[in-house]
């Protein structure tokens, strides 16, 4: 589904939402200034709604780059550990190879001392007694068996060492590439944020006020949508309770009961217990700043917050939104329960943790703080999916 922003009609105000309206308004207005600075007087000036959308896209691009940075950083960490392990393994195998080589050398010296390289006729002629010939044959037979085992061991160690060296070389190459991806993603995020700071410096008070009004209308519309979802969920819960009571009565009277429910089964009590812990952690982070690539405890990005919240509940989630979206069971938005993860946009670049009544806790974007907000903060179409992680 495409992400877009529309002008919303006024509705009810969302209590408890901390919105950096000035920051949003500033960025949106400056985008207009930067686009029209060199425009001729006769050109039409974009509407504030169009400018606001473009700035929203700028935020999303920065957040998308942040998730790519997170993925590259995680991959780099894993790859570095693998390289270290392989290098240690190569060192150990090289030591074994040297030991096998030394053993072969000892056998070569023994052959020289015992005359093992002489022809059978010469060995017979040089022996003083038949018993000497017999004893020498016995020693050489035993030595030949051990020598063959030593040669086989040497060849095996040499082959395995070469293989591990090749693996280490390939892993080092992959690590270098991943570090390049990490550097590129970091540079992209920094550029987006630098552009935003530059645009902010050019805002006027009048533009801030006008764009703040647009932001306020969006918040009110989002609050109205959240209230509507809360009403629908309350009706669904009441219907389930009534159906359960009816099924209970039928079971008592006939010994059997059936339902025609097609909804996703409610989460079990163990999920509810874990979700409470995750939400308690998330609420304790409200007011902390969004910082790209951060996983706490002083600041978070969106996926860093959800990962940390569920970790507090004993559930391990992947680092990025791209992986978190596959770390559970997808449920309809209408059946979202507290603790579920709400993902946004077609490229799955944002996530929040659902708290009920159409609301979530999330780390919104650069310049903002962890806060409660309607899941409709960017419109219906921005919601990608809802996932129950445990």
Q: Encoding tokens for residue 227?
A: 């209230």
In degrees rounded to 5, what are phi and psi of residue 296? Answer: 100, 180
Of 135, 155, 144, give the one whose Cα is nearest residue 111.
Answer: 144
Using CA atoms, how far residue 143 sits from 99, 102, 139, 227, 288, in Å, is 18, 15, 6, 88, 74
Of 74, 133, 76, 128, give the one whose Cα is nearest residue 321.
Answer: 74
Of 323, 322, 328, 321, give the one whose Cα is nearest residue 305.
Answer: 321
3-state SS track over 331-356 = ECHHHCCCCCEEEECCCCCEEEEEEE
Active site residues: 302, 350, 362
Q: Residue 47: which region, alpha, beta or left (left: phi > 0; alpha: psi -120 to 50)? A: beta
Specify the 3-state DSSP secondary structure of 229: helix
Angle at 251 between CA 247 and CA 254, to 5 degrees: 130
Contact 216, 11 (CB under 8 A): no
Q: What's the rounded Cα separation, in Å, for the pair 360 and 225? A: 13
Residue with tokens 């410096």: 201
Q: What is the DSSP letter of 373?
A: E
Q: What's the rounded Cα separation, in Å, for the pair 161 and 154? A: 10
Q: Which residues lie below 8 Å from residue 329, measured CB to CB, with a gap of 6+?
A: 264, 387, 388
Residue with tokens 């997170």: 70
Q: What's the rounded Cα separation, in Å, for the pair 27 and 373? A: 20
Q: Encoding tokens for residue 173?
A: 């190459």
359-362/383-388 β-pairing? unpaired
Q: Which helix (H) or strand (E) covers residue 323, if one does?
A: helix 321-324
> Does the bond joining 297 to the residue before it have cis omega, within 30 degrees of 0?
yes
């Amino acid at each position: 589904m495409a992400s877009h922003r529309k002008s919303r009609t006024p509705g009810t105000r969302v209590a408890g939402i901390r919105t950096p309206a000035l920051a949003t308004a500033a960025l949106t207005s400056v985008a207009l200034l930067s686009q029209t600075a060199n425009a001729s007087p006769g050109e039409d000036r974009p509407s504030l709604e169009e400018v606001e959308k473009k700035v929203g896209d700028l935020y999303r691009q920065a957040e998308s780059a942040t998730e790519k940075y997170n993925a590259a950083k995680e991959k780099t960490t894993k790859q570095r550990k693998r390289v270290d392990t392989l290098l240690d393994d190569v060192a150990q195998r090289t030591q074994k190879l040297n030991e096998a080589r030394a053993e072969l050398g000892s056998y070569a010296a023994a052959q020289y001392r015992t005359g093992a390289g002489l022809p059978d006729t010469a060995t017979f002629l040089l022996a003083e007694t038949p018993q000497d010939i017999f004893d020498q044959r016995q020693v050489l037979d035993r030595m030949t068996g051990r020598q063959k085992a030593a040669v086989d061991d040497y060849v095996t160690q040499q082959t395995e060492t070469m293989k591990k060296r090749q693996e280490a070389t390939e892993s080092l190459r992959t690590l270098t590439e991943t570090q390049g991806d990490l550097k590129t993603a970091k540079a992209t995020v920094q550029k987006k944020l630098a552009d935003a700071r530059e645009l902010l410096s050019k805002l006027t008070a009048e533009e801030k006020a006008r764009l703040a009004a647009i932001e306020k209308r969006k918040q009110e519309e989002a609050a109205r949508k959240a209230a509507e979802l809360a009403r629908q969920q309350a009706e669904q819960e009441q219907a389930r309770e009534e159906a359960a009571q009816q099924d209970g009565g039928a079971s008592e009277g006939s010994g059997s009961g059936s339902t025609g429910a097609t909804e996703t089964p409610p989460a079990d009590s163990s999920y509810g217990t874990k979700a409470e812990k995750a939400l308690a952690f998330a609420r304790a982070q409200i007011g902390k700043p969004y910082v790209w690539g951060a996983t706490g405890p002083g600041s978070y990005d969106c996926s860093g917050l959800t990962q940390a919240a569920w970790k507090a509940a004993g559930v391990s989630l992947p680092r990025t939104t791209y992986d978190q979206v596959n770390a559970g069971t997808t449920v309809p938005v209408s059946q979202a329960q507290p603790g579920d993860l709400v993902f946004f946009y077609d490229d799955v670049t944002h996530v929040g943790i659902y708290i009920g009544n159409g609301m979530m806790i999330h780390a919104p974007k650069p310049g903002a703080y962890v806060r409660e907000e309607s899941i409709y903060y960017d419109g219906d179409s921005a919601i990608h999916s809802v996932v129950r992680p445990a």
